[in-house]
Chains A and B, each alone.
Chain A
Amino acid sequence: MADTVVGANPDPHVTGDDPDRRDFIHIAAGVAALGLVGGLAWPFIDQMNPAGDTLALASIEFDLSKVEPGQQVVVKWRGKPLFVRNRTPKEIQEAIQGDHADLRDPATDESRHKPGKANWLVLVGTCTHLGCVPTFGGGEYGGWFCPCHGSVYDTSGRIRKGPAPKNLEVPTYAFLSDTKVKIG
């Protein structure tokens, strides 16, 4: 902008360091281009997030009468396994005792089931370490054992041993009736 040729006629548009109309046009054009790129970046990033139909399939209903005490049924929910476990009184007792143990991700057993439905445990069946599917009844706490890297969960699905940082996740669910739950 400030280039001047010696001996040339002074350019009326060049006024030293003061911004002129060309500076304004340069800055405006630059900002417009940045805005365009920035505005388009989000659609190009967000297209990878779960699509509408994927989100629409996000909740399922499940009939609990299929699960006898001491059993677990694995349901597919959002592409992941979901554990629906009908706990025996002994397993519930063990889980309540575990409340006082030294827990990595502290939670009471009560907070992990619906009120008055202590026998029903509904959990996302993926290990919180790296997403493997823990095996039912394995490990020294009688809950689950992850074969991949040796995480051990108790009968409340709380992490007790191994590399996993968190308890098995409790999904959002609600009892529609005594024998029916809606998950998601």
Chain B
Amino acid sequence: MSGHSTYEPKTGFERWLDTRLPIIRFASDTIVSFPTPKNLNYWWTFGGILALMLGIQIVSGIILAMHYVPHVDHAFDSVQRIKRDVNFGWLIQGMHANGASMFFLAVYVHMFRNLYYGSYKAPREVLWILGCVIYLLMIGTAFFGYVLPWGQMSFHGAVVITNLIGAIPLVGPAITTWLWGGFAVDNPTLNRFFSLHYLLPFMIAGVVGLHIWALHVPGNNNPTGVNVSSPDDTVPFHPYYTVKDGFAISVFLILYATFVFYLPDALGDAANYIQANPLVTPAHIVPEWYLLPFYAILRAVPNKLMGVILMFGAIATLFVLPWLDTSKVRSMRYRPTIRLYFFLFALDCIILGFCGAHAPDDMVIPGVAGLQLGDANLNSFVWLSRIAALYYFVYFWVINPLMGLTETPLPVPQSISAPVLSHPATTPTGAVASPEKRG
């Protein structure tokens, strides 16, 4: 997409097309000859995995829409009919529902990869922000999609999330009514959520196009975080990374297939097998696993509006991360101090997830009466989520800016090739910098 093109049309038709619509040149420059750092590890394969997951979700989703009925009286039954009666409906519905979880799993790996290797730093800020936009769109799509089966958890999840908007002073209730199209989550709500659930994936696909465009201007970051300094530091995307991505995709699909074929409901909530009933709330409303950390932040705050602000703030923080991180060193491979805080942050997100899955008053360590401090029981999940939510924000807003100024990073290699070639143990006799260029 950028830089100079190495594509040479070979046939008469390719030459003819190249002067009219250079689409083959575009594809060649993007996924064949694109110069890619030669040291990318398996954490870099998740971009390809995500592209595949988006494709799977769109195709399976379009098929499900052929059988689904977006009406409060029929939605629940139509999903059950897809699972039980439609030919291979069990497979396609299972792929779609579990595909959402796999999509989020891959996106989280992709995002933590970014955090660790500093891929969001200059000149890749726009690339990172576009990724955050994709993530936001994914959350929206997943939320709308989760409402469609019209089970108890679908319905009351929609009630809780749309009521969050009611926390906005003055205009909140009017906006909520506008979103609902009525006085409660009802048929108009289901209809518009279906429409938006169909729309957003195509918007994601559009932003993915921009994301790849923004990737191909500066090129890939790499585990050392240093810039590509010579053509010796790169290999063509094909066959080196098409094959590596292909292998990673195959492994990922094994995990995905395990869920689709053997554990189709493991990631869902049993309450969603009960048809939506506005008059009865399930005892314990929880979102899908991939949104639990944000739900925990929401509930950590006793004030409704502040909880909503902090929950959205947790996502908004990601957008400004490139300017919060003051370190000039990209990769945490050479930043041993912040690396510890990073692993603590990863653990923190998992803890927040656990907090989101439990009722606020549940005890963290069962059987222990609790560390009573005034009115507060410190052995409750609400207190654990408060501490974890605090660390979430401290990591981005305090540790990241401070660490770049105070830490002493390890020496960064001169080039991508240097650490490999200069290390005697890893350089067998006769090794050359660019093995791919030998016969």
A residues near B (Cβ < 8 Å) are: 45, 48-51, 54, 58, 74, 76, 78-81, 125-126, 129-133, 146-150, 163-165
B166 to chain A, nearest CB (A): 8
Instruction: Report yes or no: A132 in contact with B360, Cβ–Cβ below 8 A.
Output: no
Q: Are A48 and B183 in contact (CB under 8 A)?
A: no
> Which of the segments B251-259, B276-284, B417-425 contacts the partner chain?
B276-284
Judge whether A80 and B307 touch: CB under 8 Å: no
| Cβ contact of A80, chosen from B183, B188, B283, B299, cutoff 8 A | B183
Contact code string B281-312 (vs A, CB < 8 Å = 1, else 0): 10111000000000000010011110100000
New A-B pairs, 18, CB < 8 Å, besides A50-B180, A132-B159: A45-B178, A48-B192, A49-B177, A50-B183, A51-B181, A54-B183, A54-B188, A78-B182, A81-B278, A130-B163, A132-B156, A132-B285, A133-B278, A147-B284, A150-B360, A163-B303, A163-B307, A165-B305
Chain B residues with CB under 8 A of A129: 163, 304
Q: In angstroms, how far is the closest chain A Cβ from the Cβ of B99?
A: 28
Residues on B with C-beta less than 8 A from A81 are 278-279
Q: Find out whether the CB atom of A149 lies under 8 angstroms from the CB atom of B278.
A: no
Indicate which residue in B279, B305, B307 contacts A133 across the interface (CB closer than 8 Å): B279
- B positions within 8 Å CB-CB of A: 156, 159-160, 162-164, 177-186, 188, 192, 278-281, 283-285, 299, 302-305, 307, 360-361
Secondary structure of the A contact surface, majority rule = loop
8 nearest CB pairs, A to B: A79-B184, A78-B183, A131-B163, A130-B160, A132-B281, A79-B186, A131-B159, A133-B281
Complex alpha-carbon distance, A131 and B165, angstroms: 11
A sample of 21 cross-chain residue pairs with beta-carbon separation below 8 angstroms, ordered by A number, consists of A48-B179, A48-B181, A48-B188, A50-B181, A50-B183, A54-B182, A54-B183, A54-B188, A58-B183, A76-B279, A78-B182, A78-B183, A79-B184, A79-B186, A81-B278, A130-B159, A131-B163, A132-B285, A146-B281, A148-B160, A163-B304
CA distance A80 to B186 in the complex (A): 9
Report the separation of the CA atoms of residues A179 and B162 in the bound assembly, to the nearest whole angstrom: 36
Q: How far is the CA of A54 from the CA of B279 in the complex (A)?
A: 19
Nearest CB on B from A141, distance (A): 17
Query: Which chain B residues border A58 with CB–CB below 8 Å?
Result: 183
- Bound state CA distance, A16 and B361, in angstroms? 75
CB–CB A148/B185 < 8 A: no
- Residue in chain B with minimal CB distance to A49: B178
List residues of chain A with CB within 8 A of the CB of B160.
130-132, 148
Least distance between B389 CB and chain A CB atoms (Å) = 15
Q: Chain B CB within 10 Å — which of A74, A79, A129 has the most?
A: A79
In the complex, which residue of chain B has the Cβ closest to the Cβ of A80?
B184
Alpha-carbon distance between A78 and B279 when the two chains are bound, in angstroms: 12
B-chain residues with CB within 8 Å of residue A80 when the two chains form the complex: 183-184, 278
Choose one: A79, A125, A150; the contact of B183 (CB below 8 Å): A79
- With A54-B188, A79-B278, A165-B304 as known contacts, state yes or no: A149 contacts B360, CB within 8 Å: yes
Contacts of A126 in B (CB 8 A): 159, 184
Chain B residues with CB below 8 A from A130, complex form = 159-160, 163-164, 304
Report the nearest A residue to B283, measured CB to CB: A147
